[in-house]
Chains A and B, each alone.
Chain A
Amino acid sequence: QVQLQESGPGLVKPSQTLSLTCTVSSGSVNSGSYSWGWIRQPAGKGLEWIGRLFPGGGTKYNPSLKSRATISVDTSKNQFFLTLSSVTAADTAVYYCARWARLGFFDYWGQGTLVAVSS
């Protein structure tokens, strides 16, 4: 059973960069059969797709984030990463990493990590 675990600072100051790590176990981020994604959820609100990492390293992002998001990967550590620059209070949310199945849905999710943006 694939497991994903998010990690990173729980508090980031406004205008700084948010950095999160997703560690994958019992599965490979290098698998050609799956891609990997980041999703966030402000408290009491809905899910927002942030971006997706494709096999081979290509990426796609939600245009609403205006190029502030970057997803990268370290296959040697079986981890992928999210950086979000120039954060504001509106970026406060639970951030999830998840595996994207070819059938068109996220089939495995991490438990989520709360990131607050505050001075």
Chain B
Amino acid sequence: SYELSQPPSVSVSPGQTANITCSGVELGDKYACWYQQRPGQSPVVVIFQDTKRPSGIPERFSGSNSGNTATLTISGTQAMDEGDYFCQAWDTNTIVFGGGTKLTVL
């Protein structure tokens, strides 16, 4: 079965750039998206189709996907960006989530 791997945690200082990676075999041949989940809340998509931002998501969120790795980049990270981030990929038969990365803004 297809698997996506993420680092368990990433720390960043306020105002700096956070990069969260998601690895999977030939992930660049699929579309990846990213969800943010704050404690006690349901996930919210912040990036879809590798690079696109839904309306209402700040411009500081961006994404890329190539080779075996998709990356979520948060520029000028703010305290409100703390939470868990999950990548997700899919094909016609299955939907797969990464294990999640806890982003801490120190």
Q: Chain A interface (Cβ within 8 Å of chain B)?
A: 37, 39, 45-49, 52, 60, 62-64, 96, 100-101, 103-107, 109-112
Contact = CB atoms under 8 A, between A and B. Distances in A.
A104 B48 contact: yes
B42 A112 contact: yes
Q: Rank and list the top 9 A-B pairs by shortest CB-CB distance, nearest first.
A: A109-B42, A105-B33, A49-B95, A47-B97, A46-B100, A105-B48, A46-B99, A104-B31, A105-B45
A103 B52 CA distance: 10
A interface SS class: strand
Contact of B94 (A49, A96, A107): A49
Given A37-B95, A46-B99, A47-B97, A64 B1 contact: yes
A48 B94 CA distance: 11
A44 to B, nearest CB: 10
Contacts of B90: 104
A52 B94 CA distance: 9
